[in-house]
Amino acid sequence: MPVGCCKDINSMLAKFWWGSNEEKRKIYWLSWERLSRAKNDGGMGFRGIEEFNKALLGKHCWRLATGGSSLLEKIFKSRYYPKSDFMCANEGYQPSYAWRSILSARTLVEKGGLWRIGDGRKVRIWKDIWMPDMKIISSRNNNCPLSDDALVMDLIDVDTKQWKRDMIYSCFDSGTAKQIISIPLSLRLPSDTLVWNWEKDGAYSVRSAYHVICDEKERSLPGPSVTRKNKVWKEIWKAPVPNKVKNFMWRLTKNILPTRANLHKKGISLDLQCPLCHHEVETTNHLFLHCDLMKLTLFASHLGSHMPLQVDLFDWILSWLTCHDTLGTQLFCTILWKFWAARNNVVFRGDKLEPVCLVDEAMSFV
């Protein structure tokens, strides 16, 4: 699929998710890239079409790199790399669309494929990944007689079927040399095989390739360490509450509920005061941690929580999600969820928020 087409599909999916249509453009609270992250990473687990497409293309690359005898391989080989192999092939003269697409996913094979050494005839010492630590060898001693394109076979003694220890120690630093010598060699010296490092059986899978692509994208995005937040999301998705409550908890911890402060951030001008207490700006933190109405609600509930003043919203939610008291967790989540619904009724219907009624409703819901 062309990249443009992938983008169109993503944008259609995003419109559907946020409920936009031709007449009404809704606010997108999270970028599609963030939404499509795995659930434990705070996304909704949607697959990015572009990444998925690349993972699928990677499968063709994998077949070409591991050498099959398919018709596709014969055609590509005769046209684009008659004298070399797929991993060294160039784009060539007037490349076809299919060929360019496949080449665009070749880096995936380069990064996720590990050469298992047989006779060392296919593997380039300084250019391919064949060390157990998945790193390309960078060390090279000054007196090393091997060329840049030397093959691993140059390090193997074909008569004894052993590593050429002396040569290896003279070419590499001692750490690298030890690693090389620790790689077992078969007496039969079979041909080298490329194994996919992210699956136990060494076979390429679209699923693991997709995750490799997304992890890499994730690492290239700026942002603080996310371990604590990941833990919260993991706990939310397995919490013993209905999906609509989980969904609400997720939006709360992503700070994408349309509180007045969040709407203001999206460029909407409105009164920023909390609609419940009128004392402070209505941020997520204020509404769920500091607002008097929230405190009254919790006080009225069996949870009896007097909230410490300096608690962090994340820590507070996490402590309730991991308290090992199923009923406590359920009630806690349900109260927050009902509280947000009641807040909306105050804003949109002019209702009054009654903490005791709200707690009763939450209790009977649980």
Q: Which residues bind Zn ion (CB under 5 A)?
A: 274, 276-277, 291
Using CA atoms, how far apart are residues 101 and 105, in angstroms rounded to an integer?
A: 7
CB 4 within 8 A of CB 51: no
Least distance from C-beta 339 to Zn ion, angstroms?
11
Q: Which is nearer to Zn ion, 200 or 278 (CB)?
A: 278
Using CA atoms, how far apart are residues 215 and 167, in angstroms rounded to an integer?
A: 38
Using CA atoms, how far apart are residues 313 and 253, in angstroms rounded to an integer?
A: 8
Q: Which is nearer to Zn ion, 149 or 292 (CB)?
A: 292
Name the one residue in this structure whose structure tokens are 């990015």. Answer: 48
Structure tokens at 256: 């994408």
Least distance from C-beta 293 to Zn ion, angstroms?
6
Least distance from C-beta 202 to Zn ion, angstroms?
57
Q: Which is nearer to Zn ion, 235 or 282 (CB)?
A: 282
Q: Which is nearer to Zn ion, 278 or 324 (CB)?
A: 278
Buried b (16+ CB within 10 A) or exposed e, 42-81: bbeebbbbbbbbbbebbbbbbbbbbeeeeeebeebbeebb
- Phi/psi for 151 (5° steps) reads -100, 160
Q: Which is nearer to Zn ion, 35 or 358 (CB)?
A: 358
3-state secondary structure of 120: coil
